[in-house]
Structure 1
Amino acid sequence: MTDQLTSMQAALGLPMTPIPFTDEGALPSAFAVTELACASIAAAGQAAAELLHQQTGRRPSLEVDRRLASFWFSTSLRPLGWSVPPMWDPVAGDYATADGWIRLHTNAPHHRLAAEKVLGVCRDRDDMASKVALWNKAELEQAVVNAGGCAAEMRPWQAWQGHPQGKAVNAEPLVHIDASLDARPGPWLGTVARPLAGLKVLDLTRVLAGPIASRFLAGLGADVLRIDPPSWNEPGVVPEVTVGKRCTRLDLHRADDRAVFETLLKDADILLHGYRADALERLGYGAAQRQQLAPGLIDVSLNAYGWSGPWQNRRGFDSLVQMSSGIAEAGMGWKQADKPTPLPVQALDHATGYLMAASAIVLLSRRLANGPGGSARLSLARTAKLLIEHGAGAQTALRPENSADQGLLVEQTPWGPAHRLQVPLRITGTPLQWAAPATELGAHRPQW
């Protein structure tokens, strides 16, 4: 049991029940990343256990394997005879400016174009570095953001504490949960083995926190339908996060696709979305419209930098929040390095994803008990605050992977066979398992 877990339990309204973390070791980091992994997975598991207790009168026991949780915060997939494409665009990464460091996030083609609109076309990393070196970090960050791109200068934690956005997000709760006025009474359709069976989850999220959330919900039996725009792809992530889901494409700027989306939303129990705070509103699907289309909806959303303050609508990703909030700078000092040192895994994404899943299950329990749906809001920056404030963790190294982790059934993916590591969460009587292998984006029809 860790302080991080008690903070999560308090934020979610879960009982302050100790949950054992088995095995030993931790990811090497300036911060307690393995504890964050275990705590967030435990919180999602506890939400499921409380749902089962509510519906059956039996509260199952649960535990989290520290070593496996650490590995799952990197990747659970082990391809057999093939490789997952690189996660990063060739010019994405950290660059020295005239007065410090900046990170450019260029994975999406339009984000790379935005950076090149400011800096000029870049042939490779060396070309990018020579252009970035001429800029002041704050001016380049703002210029890229103004161009519709994604960038973050490296700040120390103390500077983030004094920054208007740091002050805003630090005043927000870890999870902001609201009840809705609209009820959707109905029976629990699940079982002990598949507690979320019969639930329809509409997933509008992309890399990486939201897909982690919907992967967890699918592992407990939910029917997850992921929607992407026609041209979107994230090949370095899709094999990891689409297991157990169906994936389709819709263009919400087209009238016919909007009609299909609205039909899907009306039948959805849970909506997950990770757009910028104002994006769905600009498409005509603000919070009021969503509840009107789907009364009693469980509406769970995340963004990068929080839900108040001047950056609430800013584009962002895990690696950028690490730069903004002081994590990369603290890692640099911890490692005595001469460049930004991020966390060893995308821990803010993964942890926030499990907290999103936990929020959805908590809201489901409330709806089954009382009728009304509800909403939850989370952010990567607020999860960063939780990690930073709980300081360093144990530095005992994890045991390396071995053949025991590979004694699994083969998952036949569209890219080739693969193994998945054993699941780190154990809920008595409720195995986390997926009914279908990972799939390509857009592989299914837009229907329940």
Structure 2
Amino acid sequence: MTDLIVDRILKDILVALNLPAALANRVTFGGDDRLPSCFPVSDLAAASIGAACAAVATLAAAGGRVANVSVDYRLASLWFGWSIRPEGWAMPSPWDSIAGDYLACDGWIKLHTNAPHHRAAALSALACEPTRDAVAAAVAARHADAIEAAVVAAGGCAARLMSRAEWAAHPQGQAVASEPIILWDDAASGERRGWQPLPDRPLAGIRVLDLTRVLAGPVATRFLAGFGAEVLRIDPPDWDEPGVIPEVSLGKRCARLDLRMPADRDTFTRLLAGADILVHGYRADALDRLGLGATARQAIRPGLIDVSLNAYGHGGPWSNRRGFDSLVQFSSGIAADGMMWRGANAPVSLPVQALDHATGYLIAAAAIRGVIARLSGEGLTCARLSLARTATLLSDHRTRPDDGPFVPAQESDYANAIERTDWGPARRLRPPAAINGIPMQWDRPAARLGSSAANWD
């Protein structure tokens, strides 16, 4: 039955990409390991990675026969967690000490406080001391709805626990349900003359400007770098994600610009003019306020492949709400279903941040589909995706739970090569998929934010 699930998810994604559903016949799945969940998390992992690889194979084929793709269930599942294993050093925890699940007087709420300004917003809304006990006491005295509204109004990130039925009846849930997996917007053709994909390195010569943070966007651009794209990540001067960057900066150069400053904005404009793909995860109005809205971006770089993502969908009252994978799981009923499945007295989220990772591979596939479209003169060069719509994709294919044991990463799961990261040596999981004649490999080790200049090589 699970093989049918992965095929169905894969075909849904291929249709969303405007690629032939028959392309699924080129993708095979091996292995039997499944992450324990009442949702088909490992099937989503295998299908989303398989779809992104199928897009790569289609680009490389240049109208000829598409290479076969094979996906390993176990490795796909592991890549939805952590792909890096430090050797002689350790990564800090990606979670702030206050972040997590709290019981209000009428239900559960999740606070996401990993970013300092989100932490400050939550503490301001709760008017309490910055300790977990103090936060728990403040939350216990109030209604979950009121806490969510106060934290969001203060510029923070929170989500009360909803059932899938509540989400389906919620205006935002209804808006997400009406959206396709990928929203396509036509843009004028701007074919890069003279560029053609290399058979064994299909994205070599493609420049990707990365304006994303944890976690979906960086996963997408890491995948693109794995097939030869030149990825330049841009972060503001004061931003860091120490618990995540060694994981997701593989294959990229990382620079800093303050887009609020005219000189840095001019530098960004020059970078954008030389880019082929822009991936961004800012809220809908953020780039507009900087004079870099969708129309302006196309004027700067006609035919730009422009891929954006947000948390809660592109229509409805929450389309501009800050959010993260774990919050969308709370809002959309996934964590509530997990609690019912386990018979637990607290929410049970997915075993990995599957919405982030799956959306990341969908973003990568959409970007590659944009390259294919630009070469063929189609208009499919601007795409919008969301974590909430990926949650719907997962929920739509829910069948029986997978509750078997899943063995953590073993020595045999890692590649032999040592990756010389900016933090020290590390091992990386073996690639989760293989395309005949097209290796997935990275030309650069993981690097610190701000370690490169803001220019194209």
Q: Which TM-score band (shorter chain)?
A: over 0.9
The equivalent position to 1:419 in structure 2, one of 427, 441, 451, is 427
Q: Does the alignment pair 1:27 with 2:35?
A: yes
Aligned to 1:231: 238
How far off is 1:373 after superposition?
Answer: 6.4
How far off is 1:398 after superposition?
Answer: 3.4
The equivalent position to 1:434 in structure 2, one of 410, 431, 442, is 442
Q: Residue type matched to 2:319 in 1?
A: Q
Query: Could you tell me whether the CA contact under 8 Å between 2:105 and 2:142 is conserved in 1?
Result: yes
C-alpha offsets along residues 157-215 of structure 1, whole Å, 9 cap, x if unaligned?
00000000000011000011222124234233431221000010000001000000000
Query: Could you tell me whether the CA contact under 8 Å between 2:189 and 2:374 is conserved in 1?
Result: no
Aligned to 2:3: none
Q: Aligned pair count? A: 447
Q: Does the alignment pair 1:205 with 2:212?
A: yes
Query: Could you tell me whether the CA contact under 8 Å between 1:183 and 1:371 is conserved in 2?
Result: no
How far off is 1:218 after superposition?
Answer: 0.3
Aligned to 2:9: 4
Alignment of 1:275-314 (within 5 A): 275-314=282-321
2 CA distance for matches of 1:126 and 1:11? 45
TM-score scaled by length of structure 2: 0.96
Query: Could you tell me whether the CA contact under 8 Å between 1:25 and 1:394 is conserved in 2?
Result: no
Query: Could you tell me whether the CA contact under 8 Å between 1:62 and 1:426 is conserved in 2?
Result: yes
1 CA distance for matches of 2:37 and 2:126? 33
How far off is 1:259 after superposition?
Answer: 0.4
C-alpha offsets along residues 229-285 of structure 1, whole Å, 9 cap, x if unaligned?
100000111000000000000001100000000000000000000011111112211
Q: Does the alignment pair 1:13 with 2:18?
A: yes
Alignment of 1:188-267 (within 5 A): 188-267=195-274
Query: Could you tell me whether the CA contact under 8 Å between 1:296 and 1:371 is conserved in 2?
Result: no
How far off is 1:15 after superposition?
Answer: 2.1
C-alpha offsets along residues 39-81 of structure 1, whole Å, 9 cap, x if unaligned?
00001000011111225x2311111000000000001001111
Q: Does the alignment pair 1:67 with 2:74?
A: yes
How far off is 1:400 after superposition?
Answer: 4.3
Bigger mean CA offset, 356-365 vs 5-14: 5-14
C-alpha change, 1:125 and 1:74, in structure 2 (3 Å) is same
Runs of 4+ in 1 over 4 A off after TM superposition: none
The equivalent position to 1:377 in structure 2, one of 375, 384, 400, is 384
Q: Residue type matched to 1:3 in 2?
A: R
Aligned to 1:116: 123
RMSD of equivalent CA atoms = 1.3
Query: Could you tell me whether the CA contact under 8 Å between 2:72 and 2:433 is conserved in 1?
Result: yes
C-alpha offsets along residues 409-433 of structure 1, whole Å, 9 cap, x if unaligned?
0001111111001011100111110
Q: Does the alignment pair 1:53 with 2:58?
A: no
Unaligned runs of 5+ in 2: 1-5
C-alpha offsets along residues 118-139 of structure 1, whole Å, 9 cap, x if unaligned?
1124332111101111110001
2 CA distance for matches of 1:221 and 1:296? 21
SS at match of 2:111: strand
2 CA distance for matches of 1:295 and 1:148? 34
C-alpha offsets along residues 354-407 of structure 1, whole Å, 9 cap, x if unaligned?
000000001100101117562000000000001011114544433443322235
SS at match of 1:433: coil
